[in-house]
Structure 1
Amino acid sequence: MPRIKPWLTFTEWGKKYGDISHVEVLGQHIIVLNSVKTAMEMLDKKSTIYSDHPVLPMCSELVGWNLTLGLLPYGDRFRWYKNFHRVIGSRAAVDIYNPIEEIETRRFLKRVLMTPDQLQAHVRHTAGAIILRISHGYEVKENDDPFINLADRAMDQASRSSAPGAFLVDTMPFLARVPEWFPGAGFKRLAREWYETREQMGTAPYQFVKDQIAAGIAPVSFTSNLLEGRVLSAEGDNLAMWAFASLYAGGADTTVSAIYSLFLAMTLFLDAQKKAQAEIDLVVGPDRLPSFVDRESLPYTEALAKEVLRWNTVIPTAIPHRVTENDIHDGYYIPKGSLVIPNIWFMLNNPQTYADPSQFNPERFLAKDGKEVEMDPRTVCFGFGRRICPALHLADASVWNLWISTAMSLAVFDISKAIENGVEITPELDHSSGTIWYVPPQALKCSIKPRSAKAIALI
């Protein structure tokens, strides 16, 4: 199994062996899917037997992320999370939080204006601020917020602990029983530290909401909506706590990754930036910032946000699904217990689906001159079947606040390549090897300047 950028190896397997590839590692059957059609036929249409998730010894058991929705085995606890879906599972349920996204994005613009060289910190701060306000009604501190710092640390550790092939214990589960002092058992010490971080990430903001409710001052949030006026059993309380921790875990890093990709794309592709700015100037004008009410009137900006999702895939390989029964699919025998990994990166870079997939081209999503619109990346980037992102309606804002960040940022900023010592710096596009893709710090070097005095006034 490849440990470095596995989606690229999976893509080569697909070119050589077809849409379905199989590898066996120490008795574990692993099925890799390189086709949207095949993924939908298996994971969507046969979701009753393809909706389990594997127990990853490092991430799930040792670190404890199996309490959250992303790595939760299919069963009673997973089905209880339908309560969670009831709170956030409709467009009407999430539209009331649009003003929060707009307010926090305005604050993001101000931070970037003041210290553009700290873009990465601003992106992380804003993503956390939006999700914590929506999920727990918590308004973050301007600098060095404890919940933001805690969540950032936990999510970095979650990505590292779940990366395919990163820890030998995932292939040889018996190593989980090795004591910490045993030679080569450094992963056990890491797991203990990461367990404590993950536990704090779940309990601290949840207790904050309960304290606010008890004091009668809890603002509206997903958590307060579920808890207000109810008395939960100890088990129900634990389920609710990790349901809303799942909301942060599923949204924080994906949002950060998507907005990193936005600024990277705008640094590299000035033509696309200028077209979006021209559309925003025409539709919105110079006297206000864009808002969600403008979304349908800004088709190119919408297409640009979609292309960001496609061009730099946030989650290159979905968390593996696990088959709970033997299956025959298209003549292939899929044994019970097999892991099924959709190669989302290739699905969004398949030249049979997207013309010139390496090119950043928002117009592929616009109907023009009788040309057929190419596949919306949201078809696959949020997952498949019963394991699709539970916050899909929030994610429909293109990974939480990507769209509003795109529209507001381009309304007031010109983004271009940075110049150091008289030399123009061209960022290099490269992927990390964790579950969630990150832009390396050196790749986010760019110049961010206000477009005009009026833009500064708007900010």
Structure 2
Amino acid sequence: MSFTYSQLFAASLVSVIVYRLFQRRRRPPLPFPPGPKGLPLIGNLRDLPTQYQWLNYEKLGQEIGSDIVHLKFLGTHLVVLNSEKAANDLLEKRSSIYSDRPQLKALTELLDAGSWVLSLFPYGTKWRTWHKAFYAHLQPSVVHRYHAIETKANQQLLCNLLDTPQEFLKHLRQMVGQTSLSIAYGIDVDPRDDPNIALADEALQGIYVAQNKGRIFNYVPFFIHFPWWFPGAGFKKDAETHKRKLNQCRDEPYKAVKRALEENRATPSIAASMTIDLSEKSTQEETFMARALPSNIYAGSIDTTATAVQSFVLAMVLYPEAQKRAQEEIDSVLGHGHLPGFGDEDALPYLKAVLYELLRWGPPGPLGIPRRLTEDDVYNGYFFPAGCLVISNVWAILHDPATYSEPSKFKPERFLDSTARAQFPEAAFGFGRRKCPGRALAWDVVWLAIARMLAVFEFLPAKDADGRPAPPAQEFTSQFSSGPMPFECIIRPRSSTAREAVLALHLD
């Protein structure tokens, strides 16, 4: 654990006192799911992983021989679902009581993200209202409206990769940022190093810091009332800076949209559309939603979508046979050097299998955001108390060897056999009513990126000092949106024909 003993002692002591004063113990009618034995006072607090939680929860389940793991710490119950069946049975089939969110106070209060970040909303009227408005702009039947925006950002990506391929990680992030900012606000970003993207990245970094250094506030909620110098409460000292960056990321692009509308020069965007729909009868909440909801598109896509495409590059370098087969399919169907478009998706089944396998092999969100159970529940003879936290271990689900043979390997062909047990890795987008509402847009962006990159580029391992291939390690980061650890590779045009196809692009 990253907590110091003084922090643990202070948190445990305060927690036990409050727990005994304000709660009554109750004996569950059935046993809790299996879990590791806890310590006096702090329970399983030291069993909570702070790095690669999805891997450690998977290992913990294997050690106790259960796909459901129960931990209890400082009066809080946590249940981790390591199997698709358990996740579907509870988060899908019983979604009415498994769709709430706990108050992750480091985010919701210290950063004030709970007032406008949709994924953090508790389940209720506000969430339904905002989710309906969000989904209206991103549902599968309407995302074709954004194909021109996605194509423009993709063209810039190809040109950037041709010019400075060594900066591919930055270029991929730029492409996703350009797409989402244009859709949300109509912003025409700079080809490289755009300040809007830089600001958003800096703001999102505050969320990651809160998830790490502010973890204790989520486990011991009343800790938020203690001063920053109290052991364990140090994140409060920096929270105001992170909050200011987040609010700036939310408000500055919207102010630009408002000015453009007033001057009759606004580009079509979700923010512009929502603002135009406001009237004198609009409530304060509706006005705030028009200002804050569009920022969720960027916040919800920049890391997850960008890391997915970065994982694709890693997979192509490590598994050249998959790269070759996908390129052969593109060449045979469309012709060498031809840039695929959205209308070509159904004609390229292996390429679609590559994307399926990408979502399974390196899911951008390997651990679902915790749910909060709103009623007592019983499942497979185990008792789940109301108020307990429930986490879906997406990584463990998509790496289950009973469903996916050799799960650590990148094998797109597993999705070509219609009789195979492996189907579309839906778990990558979540479960139930909290499933990612922007999944159709994310699919389009990633599909176009990998299709066109494969059509014109080849991906090779970097070389060591002796000129020999030095493949990168198959390693991923430990943060919430997990992507490859920084790595080097060679990206170069497949041929002069492919190079000319990129040079012929018109970047208006």
Give the letter for the 1:107 counterpart.
Q
- Given candidates 200, 203, 207, the residue that maps to 2:251 is 203
For residues 339-354 of structure 1, what are the structure 2 equivalents within 5 Å? 339-354=389-404
State which of 139, 144, 148 in structure 1 corresponds to 2:197: 148
When structure 1 is superposed on structure 2, of 19-28 and 214-223 the one drifting more is 214-223
Q: How does 1:160-179 map to 2 (within 5 A)?
A: 160-162=209-211, 167-179=215-227
How far, CA to CA, are the matches of 1:6 and 1:263 in structure 2? 24
Aligned position for 2:30: none
Q: What is the CA–CA distance in structure 1 between the aligned matches of 2:338 and 2:276, rounded to whole Å?
A: 37
Match of 1:454 among 497, 504, 507: 497
Query: What residue is the counterpart of 1:3 in the other structure?
Result: 50
C-alpha deviation, 1:183, in angstroms: 5.7
SS in structure 2 at match of 1:447 = strand
1:369-384 residue pairs with structure 2 within 5 A?
371-372=419-420, 374-377=422-425, 379-384=426-431
Q: How does 1:8-157 map to 2 (within 5 A)?
A: 8-15=55-62, 16-66=64-114, 67-157=116-206
Mapped partners of 1:453, 1:159: distance in 2: 43
Structure number with greater Rg is: 2
Amino acid at match of 2:351: T
Q: Secondary structure at the match of 2:308?
A: helix
2:439 and 2:475 map into 1 onto residues whose CA distance is 27
Residue 365 of structure 2 corresponds to: 315
CA distance in 2, matches of 1:348, 1:86: 26
Q: Which structure would you say has the larger RCO, counting Cα contacts within 8 Å and 6 or more residues apart?
A: 1
User: Within the alignment, does 1:407 sit opposite 2:451 as a pair?
Assistant: yes
Cα separation, partners in 2 of 1:181 and 1:22, compared to 1, 3 Å: closer
CA distance in structure 2 between the aligned counterparts of 1:229 and 1:322, rounded to whole angstroms: 34
Within-5 A mapping of 1:206-245: 206-231=254-279, 232-245=282-295
Residue 32 of structure 1 aligns to a residue whose secondary structure is strand
Match of 1:438 among 477, 483, 490: 483
Indicate conservation of the 8 Å contact 1:134/1:221, yes or no: yes
Corresponding residue SS for 2:70: strand
Find the residue that maps to 1:192 and give its secondary structure: helix
CA shift, 1:373, in A, is 5.4
Q: What are the Cα deviations for residues 214-264 of structure 1, in whole angstroms up to 9, with x where unaligned?
A: 222222222222222432433212123222211211111101110110110
The structure-2 alpha-carbon separation of the partners of 1:229 and 1:336, relative to structure 1 and needing over 3 Å to count, comes to closer
CA separation in 1, counterparts of 2:316 and 2:204? 26
1:87 Cα shift? Answer: 2.4
Contiguous gaps of at least 5 residues in structure 1:
none
What displacement does 1:189 show?
2.0
CA apart distance, 1:89: 4.5
The alpha carbon displacement at 1:438 in A equals: 2.6
- Alpha-carbon separation, structure 2, partners of 1:355 and 1:83: 38
Identity of aligned residues (%): 37
Matches of 1:297 and 1:304 in 2, distance apart?
14
In structure 2, the residue corresponding to 1:81 is in which secondary structure? Answer: helix
Letter in 1 for 2:95: S
Return the letter of the residue paired with 2:267. Answer: P
Of 449, 462, 469, the residue aligned with 1:424 is 469
Letter of the structure 2 residue corresponding to residue 396 of structure 1: W
- Aligned-pair distance for 1:146? 1.7
Contact persistence 2:216–2:232 (CA under 8 A) = no
Partner of 1:62, secondary structure, is coil
Deviations 1:260-319 (A, max 9, x none): 101100111100000000011111113531111101111111111111111112111100
